[in-house]
Amino acid sequence: MLKLHFAPNSRAGRIVWLLEELGLDYEINKMAFHPKDLKSDEHRARHPLGRIPVLEDGDVMIYESGAIVDYVLERHKNGGLKPAVDAPEFPAYLQWFHYCEGMVMPPVNTIVVQTILLPPERRDETVLKQAQKLLTRSWAPVDEALEGKEYLIGNFSGADIMLGHAAFMSNRLGCIPDENAALKAYVERITARPAFDKAINMQ
């Protein structure tokens, strides 16, 4: 059985969502988002930097949420969520799958550091505002791509697992403006999915 090492309010929520969408059997090792759990010797044996998520699948131990999504879809896909290489929508799938960590999550990380992780005396308002502006701008191409579509490539896919989770987080941070109507509606569709609701409520 698949085993997911999980901490709340993290990218590990993507993996729970994926596993629920696919109807796969899995177990959760729920840890606190705190050094006492994440930096323990036990967890560093799974991930050398003490991060999550980590997925165990028999003798396989794999980390990085995007790598885990791709791994699960290839080895346990149970019906898809990834277009064939020769499908017309495959290039768009790849683009939006990787756009998440390339363009969206770096400013999200900065915002979380500047508003939650750092003590107030170490926070930098200039850095925070720059990250918020960058994050808001990074969503404009996604909003445009979603015009007339329910999901990023039409049908729900692994790209939505990656970027949809990031859209939910960005919206919660107040960094998706109201004028991005297609994106706002997309976030509503994402949050209405039962598998997403279960993953977020596990937080």
Cβ neighbors of 5 (< 8 A, separation 6 or more) are: 12, 29, 31, 43, 46, 47, 52, 53, 54, 55, 56
Give residue 203's pLDDT band: very low, low, confident or very high (50, 70, 90): low
Tokens representing 46 are: 């799974």
Neighbour tally for 119: CB within 10 Å: 6
How confident is the model over 135-187, as pLDDT tens digits? 999 999 999 999 999 999 999 999 999 999 999 999 999 999 999 999 999 99
CATH of domain 2-75: 3.40.30.10
Whole-number average pLDDT of the chain: 95
For position 201, what pLDDT does the model report? 87
Residue 42: its pLDDT value, please?
A: 93
Mean of the pLDDT values across residues 106-114? 96
Query: How do the domains of the chain map onto residue ranges?
Result: 2-75, 90-193
pTM for this entry: 0.94
Least confident of 39-43, 66-70, 75-79: 75-79
Q: Evaluate if residue 80 carries a pLDDT over 90.
A: no
State the pLDDT at residue 95: 98
The 10s digit of each residue's pLDDT in 51-74 is 999 999 999 999 999 999 999 999
Q: What is the mean pLDDT of residues 32-47?
A: 91
Which CB contacts under 8 angstroms, 24+ apart, belong to 35-43?
A: 37/7, 38/7, 43/5
The model's confidence at residue 132, banded by pLDDT at 50, 70 and 90, is very high
Rounded to 10 degrees, the C-alpha dihedral 20/188/9/116 comes to 170
CATH 1.20.1050.10 fits 90-193, yes or no: yes
C-beta atoms surrounding 31 within 10 Å: 20
Q: How confident is the model at residue 77 (pLDDT cuts 50, 70, 90)?
A: confident
Is the Cβ–Cβ distance between 202 and 8 less than 8 Å? yes
> pLDDT grade, residue 79 (50/70/90)?
low
Give the pLDDT mean for 184-201. Answer: 96
Which one, of 81, 143, 131, lies nearest residue 105 by Cα? 131
| φ, ψ for residue 175, nearest 5 deg | -110, 20
What's the CA dihedral at 194, 22, 14, 28 to 10 degrees?
100
Q: Determine phi and psi for 80, rounding to 5 degrees.
A: 125, -125
- Say how far apart CA 164 and CA 17 lie, in whole Å: 11
* Rounded distance between C-alpha atoms, residue 131 and residue 42, angstroms: 34
